[in-house]
A and B are shown apart, each in its own frame.
Chain A
């Protein structure tokens, strides 16, 4: 943030009128500085001070929305370069590119990737439609892509084709990616009239910067920056420098989300494409365009994205319930763990490896790890037995063997009192030990 609380305070009326809902002008100024409240909540601020402060206290990176209906996506709005400083807010979106010759083959594959991971539906978010010189065929491809129920990116630098394509799909708020130093005026008009986000590119950062400034001068701040495809090295350097200029050096002309087109950079090498997609998910790719998306690529990439865009203050949580592992039925042994997603994944992986059918019971423990939630009283004999009653565990499983993590062996006695009829088994301290434990276990 550019402004300190004190700088803002100096421009306020200093009447402590409380009309903004804060006890004093100083308190209000501090909140504005932290981004907790906007400056226009002060009813008595002078127009001059407001203009001065709005400019300086504007977020360093634009937050945009694309798409319509249930396919609306948020882009940008980031405030930090490293997730530990606060959190990343708009996850990278993955797109697959189609052209007139490959659209029929690719669309079914795009739709095939569709699964759920920790409460999030994972699909190819966007489809990038490439223009290859023939307007009629391009429009035909756009129509086909439109049928796939995804938000589109129109990658076209021909004004005539761009306009005709937008006439077809502008209601769905696609991105028009095609402005450059020579056509920006025409593209500005087309994008503004259609009310869509405009993608800008150029051969290097100076050209891009210059074109963005011209578009801003013409009143368009609804932009994304295509980092270009000169080389992998350049694309990475551009993506980092654009984001860093905006967030660290307060250069708002680069305060826009980015597009990285890996279908051009990876040159058909799918494994290299996976490597690049991973790097750009960490380092500042708002939209990542791939030549295809198989499950093999999707599983690690969507998992990585889900990790990186987790709020560091809010751990990822699993829904508390019974998860049958290895085809467990009501007679299979039960094991209990906490709802912290990481704990769940670690133990679930080991249970799967054992091959033994187990009902893994995920208890509501506030999203903390086993020891942390135990120490905080959220994973105790009391909370576990309460959870058993509330979620009706005893009606869902017939087995009365319950395996608890070795680190909370101390719960055994109390659990046996609270859960009459259950045999409490103390598992190993580390998840990895459970494979051997289960293999040796005789009901």
Chain B
């Protein structure tokens, strides 16, 4: 007897969000199957890989990373160089130095940097803020104005600042946003409801449902994403059909496995850089298998491996 295949068909699809402009765009979402289940139906758009570029510059203490960005002194040059990584689909600029509890760089300086980077890159642009909700709220609106027509995605709109960003950046200037919540399907849905109630269309909203490094409570990330995709596809819940974008690099490079030097680490752990890459790659791959439509990574070797994985599975 031969095996009876029962493809899983759903009455719904994940909505598409396009970022970038002109001939350089990427589309997130659009699939009507579970992650990588190409045997059930064709996956419309493969998951995408973004390269994280901090406005503090790359960590040149990591030999391979330092070598890759050698000669790129200005952030715009770093971003331009990041576009050449095989498998890179978009650039994600992180405005870390805007943090009022850190360097507290002025909004004008941040806007100037964004303009410079936007002019230099050959891939679509995602802008990550300082993690300070108040500052980000003001910042994103100004950047949205300065980058009119670039169709950038702002990470992240949270419960406390989504209103201003939705109105000031999305409605006013046609940019995109990612709704950020903390690893909980109900919080994710609630924020999507609030944003759509402001009149923002599906095609402008992605979501960042939160993440952790592998081994650090990642089961919550998996179950949150599993449940979101199942609700979106089986129940046709249009408040959960936004594509998911997951900033993996910032989490994975902050855990002990990735930041301890070979001297600080337990014996046998080996060079720091390969540990950080493995942590970034393992976490990103699991996030994709659980339902992320895009991941943001820091290391060129991670970008190469994860994009290879995607190409092999789609």
Physical interaction between A and B:
yes
- Known A240-B39, A283-B289, A299-B257; judge A306-B313 contact (CB<8 A): no
Flag whether A136 is at the interface (Cβ < 8 A). Answer: no
Complex partner residue of B286 from A241, A271, A281, A306, CB under 8 angstroms: A281
In the assembled complex, which residues on chain A have CB atoms less than 8 Å from the CB atom of B161? none
**Max count, chain A CB within 10 A of own CB: residue among B3, B259, B277:** B3
**Nearest Cβ distance between residue A29 and chain B, in whole angstroms?**
28
A300, B289: Cβ atoms closer than 8 Å: no
Could you mark each residue 101-138 of chain B with 1 if its beta carbon is under 8 Å from any beta carbon of chain A, else 0? 10000000000000000000000000000000000000
B2, A274: Cβ atoms closer than 8 Å: no
**Nearest Cβ distance between residue B307 and chain A, in whole angstroms?**
10
B38, A307: Cβ atoms closer than 8 Å: no
Complex partner residue of A271 from B216, B260, B302, CB under 8 angstroms: B302
Give chain A interface residues in 112-128, CB to chain B under 8 Å.
112-113, 115, 117
Inter-chain CA distance A299–B268, complex, in Å, is: 12
Q: From A352, which residue of chain B is reached at the shortest CB distance?
A: B256
Flag whether B36 is at the interface (Cβ < 8 A). Answer: yes
Chain-B contact segment, one of A68-76, A153-161, A341-349, A412-420: A341-349
In the assembled complex, which residues on chain B have CB atoms less than 8 Å from the CB atom of A244? 6, 8
Complex partner residue of A299 from B215, B288, B312, CB under 8 angstroms: B215
Interface secondary structure of B, over-half rule:
helix
B223, A213: Cβ atoms closer than 8 Å: no
In the assembled complex, which residues on chain A have CB atoms less than 8 Å from the CB atom of B257? 299-300, 303
In the assembled complex, which residues on chain B have CB atoms less than 8 Å from the CB atom of A251? 3-4
A282, B312: Cβ atoms closer than 8 Å: no
- Known A82-B226, A210-B2, A295-B270; judge A312-B283 contact (CB<8 A): no
In the assembled complex, which residues on chain A have CB atoms less than 8 Å from the CB atom of B312? 231-233
Flag whether B141 is at the interface (Cβ < 8 A). Answer: no
Could you mark each residue 327-346 of chain A with 1 if its beta carbon is under 8 Å from any beta carbon of chain B, else 0? 00000000000000110011
B268, A295: Cβ atoms closer than 8 Å: yes
Inter-chain CA distance A112–B279, complex, in Å, is: 19
B278, A345: Cβ atoms closer than 8 Å: no
Flag whether B274 is at the interface (Cβ < 8 A). Answer: yes
A274, B278: Cβ atoms closer than 8 Å: yes
**Nearest Cβ distance between residue A200 and chain B, in whole angstroms?**
13
**Number of A-B residue pairs with CB-CB distance less than 8 Å in the complex they form:** 181
- Known A233-B38, A295-B268; judge A276-B285 contact (CB<8 A): yes
A296, B269: Cβ atoms closer than 8 Å: yes
In the assembled complex, which residues on chain A have CB atoms less than 8 Å from the CB atom of B3? 205-206, 208-209, 245, 251, 254
Inter-chain CA distance A213–B271, complex, in Å, is: 49
B214, A249: Cβ atoms closer than 8 Å: no
Give chain B interface residues in 173-194, CB to chain A under 8 Å.
none
Flag whether A302 is at the interface (Cβ < 8 A). Answer: yes
Flag whether A297 is at the interface (Cβ < 8 A). Answer: yes
**Nearest Cβ distance between residue A194 and chain B, in whole angstroms?**
28
Could you mark each residue 1-22 of chain B with 1 if its beta carbon is under 8 Å from any beta carbon of chain A, else 0? 1111110100000000000000
In the assembled complex, which residues on chain B have CB atoms less than 8 Å from the CB atom of A241? 5, 39
Flag whether A275 is at the interface (Cβ < 8 A). Answer: yes
Flag whether B308 is at the interface (Cβ < 8 A). Answer: yes
**Number of contacting residues on B, CB 8 A?**
61
Flag whether B81 is at the interface (Cβ < 8 A). Answer: no
Flag whether A27 is at the interface (Cβ < 8 A). Answer: no
Flag whether A193 is at the interface (Cβ < 8 A). Answer: no
Inter-chain CA distance A295–B217, complex, in Å, is: 20
Flag whether A277 is at the interface (Cβ < 8 A). Answer: yes
**Nearest Cβ distance between residue A299 and chain B, in whole angstroms?**
4
**Nearest Cβ distance between residue B46 and chain A, in whole angstroms?**
12
Give chain A interface residues in 281-319, CB to chain B under 8 Å.
281-283, 294-297, 299-304, 306-308, 310, 312
Give chain B interface residues in 115-167, CB to chain A under 8 Å.
none
- Known A275-B285, A282-B222; judge A307-B2 contact (CB<8 A): no
Flag whether A203 is at the interface (Cβ < 8 A). Answer: no
A275, B223: Cβ atoms closer than 8 Å: no
Inter-chain CA distance A59–B288, complex, in Å, is: 30
A301, B256: Cβ atoms closer than 8 Å: no
Complex partner residue of A233 from B219, B259, B278, B313, CB under 8 angstroms: B313
Give chain B interface residues in 248-273, CB to chain A under 8 Å.
252, 254-257, 259-260, 266, 268-271
Complex partner residue of A303 from B4, B216, B226, B285, CB under 8 angstroms: B216
Flag whether A83 is at the interface (Cβ < 8 A). Answer: yes
Q: From A212, which residue of chain B is reached at the shortest CB distance?
A: B3
Inter-chain CA distance A277–B279, complex, in Å, is: 12
A251-B3, A303-B216, A307-B222 given; name 7 further pairs at CB < 8 Å: A83-B226, A213-B1, A232-B313, A278-B282, A282-B289, A295-B270, A342-B212
Could you name 17 residue pairs across A and B whose Cβ atoms are closer than 8 Å? A206-B2, A232-B313, A240-B37, A240-B39, A241-B39, A251-B4, A269-B308, A271-B281, A274-B282, A279-B36, A279-B288, A282-B222, A300-B214, A300-B278, A304-B214, A304-B215, A307-B222
B-binding residues in A (CB < 8 A): 82-84, 112-113, 115, 117, 205-206, 208-210, 213, 231-233, 236-237, 240-241, 244-245, 248-249, 251, 254, 269, 271-272, 274-279, 281-283, 294-297, 299-304, 306-308, 310, 312, 341-342, 345-346, 348-349, 352-353, 436
A-binding residues in B (CB < 8 A): 1-6, 8, 36-39, 101, 212-220, 222-223, 226-227, 230, 252, 254-257, 259-260, 266, 268-271, 274-275, 277-279, 281-286, 288-290, 301-302, 304-306, 308-309, 312-313
